Amino acid sequence: MKRDGAVREKVILLAGGTDPSGGAGLPADIKTAAALGFHGCPAAAALTVQNSGNVHYWEPVSGDLFRSELEAVLEDGPVAAVKSGMLGSSVNALILSRVLKESLSGCPYVLDPVLAAGGGGSLTDGDMLNVLRESLIPLSAMCTPNLNEARIITGMQELETPKKMVEAGREILRMGAEAVLVKGGHLAGDPVDVLVTDGGVFRFSGSRLTEDNVHGTGCTLASAAAVYLAAGRTPESAVAGARSFLRGAISRRISRKHGLLPGHLALAGPPPLSPDGSSFYSSPVYCPACGVAMKKDPGEHGHLHCGECGHIHYRNPLPAVTLLVLKGSRLLLVERAVEPAKGMLCLPGGFMETGETVPECGARELFEETGLTAVNSHLFRILTDDTAYGGIVLAALRVTEFRGEARAGDDASRLFWIPLEEIPPLAFQAHDELVDLLRLEIGQA
């Protein structure tokens, strides 16, 4: 399903099953969308009784109720993408296909063909497979089966190698999907995912953060891919971004009695009892010119101003520079010695000082934090970010040549050279985005 135009609303329609554990199904979809900056609208197609270990019971909602949920979301305004997981019944699957054709033409649709629980129990009725093949797969911008689901859909029994996964992906592509991501999380050894499109085959390799099963990873990956497609990314870029997000969620995994759940959202609170106020640039409460209490114009971008003397406080973005320094396939990261995010890893860098150019700031910050001298560097990307300091305009420099011995200094407590594929979630969202972009550029996504 081709997309026709830019994102109008950061809203995504999520059709799937409930999950009381909070790790899979609609809870996973909603949290993934939220973490990536989208608003998720959940339409429940099935109700389940499950925990972090397995599904104990489920039943589909009625077709009339499911249709009404979908219509209620669409009556409320446009959506930028659709993702479906557990649909519970072939009736609900047919209803979704009709809504996609009649009301959502041009909207990217990610089909996560949930057919069975992790414990092996079926999560569909008897005719679901035919409806998937004939009515939903042909409408999908991306279909994301795991190995078991790919076996069921294609009828292929042997899918134990990436080569066989490609064959399965091509078979599902012939059914009408625009792209097929065959997930290899259940392969022996390190996981491999294979994306098959008309433009070629893309292989995504990785390493396991845990040998234990994490409940809800398939839902999370598909939802993240839907968000990235809605944001205009190509299928291969969407998968790369989704895999990076999933890796972060697994690294923040939550341990429950019967299993593990993804940590979809980075912990943001409650705040410390004694916050380090020096780390934040607070807006003034009183006018710096005459001392009268400041007022705020209405609206998201309203400025603080003084009703007495007319002074306006413009809270402009702070200019900052960060550096991407590679030694072979290892990226230089620093452990923050100060708040905010004290103890977390990030790229070296800092705020520009008056009179500095971007290269001058980068060279100064690199030397102060790591002891390294940048010999050659070039502008890699310019990003914006919302941080504890407020809005940031971030210039990222790619350092291609440096000299000196790395040592921690200034705001860094320790230094690490970490392989690109093993980098955990970083202290700042923009730094995570830069690592994703660097992986894509050098072909390690």
Question: Is residue 277 very low, low, confident or very high in pLDDT (cuts 50, 70, 90)?
Answer: very low
Phi, psi of 136 (to 5 degrees): -105, -45
- Residue appearing with tokens 């993804």: 262
Question: Is residue 123 very low, low, confident or very high in pLDDT (cuts 50, 70, 90)?
Answer: low
Residues 103 and 250 grouped into a single domain: yes
Question: Is residue 3 very low, low, confident or very high in pLDDT (cuts 50, 70, 90)?
Answer: very low
Does residue 192 fall inside a structural domain?
yes
Residues 230 and 368 grouped into a single domain: no
Does residue 36 fall inside a structural domain?
yes
Q: Of the ranges 218-222, 275-279, 425-429, which is most confident?
A: 218-222
Residues 140 and 229 grouped into a single domain: yes
pLDDT in tens, 226-252: 999 999 999 999 999 999 899 889 988
More reliable by pLDDT, 279 or 74: 74
Question: Is residue 1 very low, low, confident or very high in pLDDT (cuts 50, 70, 90)?
Answer: very low
Question: Is residue 70 very low, low, confident or very high in pLDDT (cuts 50, 70, 90)?
Answer: very high
pLDDT in tens, 310-362: 788 777 788 999 999 999 989 999 999 888 888 999 999 999 998 899 999 99
Average pLDDT, integer, range 16-38: 95
Residues 222 and 293 grouped into a single domain: no
Residues 208 and 325 grouped into a single domain: no
Residues 38 and 184 grouped into a single domain: yes
Furthest-apart CA atoms within the chain: distance in Å:
78
Q: Which domain range does residue 303 map to?
A: 282-315
Does residue 273 fall inside a structural domain?
no
What whole-number distance in Å separates Cα of residue 440 and Cα of residue 445? 5
Q: Which of 33-37, 77-81, 153-157, 388-392 has the lowest mean pLDDT?
A: 388-392
Residues 360 and 406 grouped into a single domain: yes
What whole-number distance in Å separates Cα of residue 17 and Cα of residue 261? 16
Does residue 130 fall inside a structural domain?
yes
Average pLDDT, integer, range 174-196: 91
Which CATH number goes with the domain that contains 227? 3.40.1190.20
Q: Does residue 270 register a pLDDT over 60? A: no
Residues 311 and 325 grouped into a single domain: no
Q: Does residue 5 register a pLDDT over 60? A: no
Beta strands in 307-411 (DSSP E): 312-313, 318-327, 330-336, 345-346, 349-351, 373-387, 390-403
pLDDT in tens, 288-302: 776 677 777 665 557
Domain boundary among the residues 295, 315, 335 is at: 315
Q: H or E segment at 431?
A: helix 429-442
What whole-number distance in Å separates Cα of residue 191 and Cα of residue 184? 5
Residues 172 and 245 grouped into a single domain: yes
Does residue 269 fall inside a structural domain?
no
| DSSP string across 115-178 | -B-TTS-B-S-TTHHHHIIIIIGGG-SEE--BHHHHHHHH------SHHHHHHHHHHHHHTT-S
Q: Please, what's the b/e burial string for 214-238 (b: 16 or more CB within 10 A of its CB; e: otherwise)?
A: bbbbbbbbbbbbbbbbbbebebbbb
Residues 106 and 204 grouped into a single domain: yes
H-type alpha helices, 297-412:
358-370
Does residue 276 fall inside a structural domain?
no
Residue 128's nearest CA partner among 106, 111, 109, 146 is: 111
Does residue 430 fall inside a structural domain?
yes
Residues 371 and 311 grouped into a single domain: no
Residues 427 and 353 grouped into a single domain: yes
Q: Does residue 431 register a pLDDT over 60? A: yes
pLDDT in tens, 358-382: 999 999 999 999 999 999 999 999 9
What is the total count of domains within the chain? 3
Question: Is residue 214 very low, low, confident or very high in pLDDT (cuts 50, 70, 90)?
Answer: very high
Which CATH number goes with the domain that contains 368? 3.90.79.10
What whole-number distance in Å separates Cα of residue 182 and Cα of residue 143? 8
* Helix, strand, coil percent content, the chain, rounded in steps of 5: 30, 30, 40
Does residue 2 fall inside a structural domain?
no
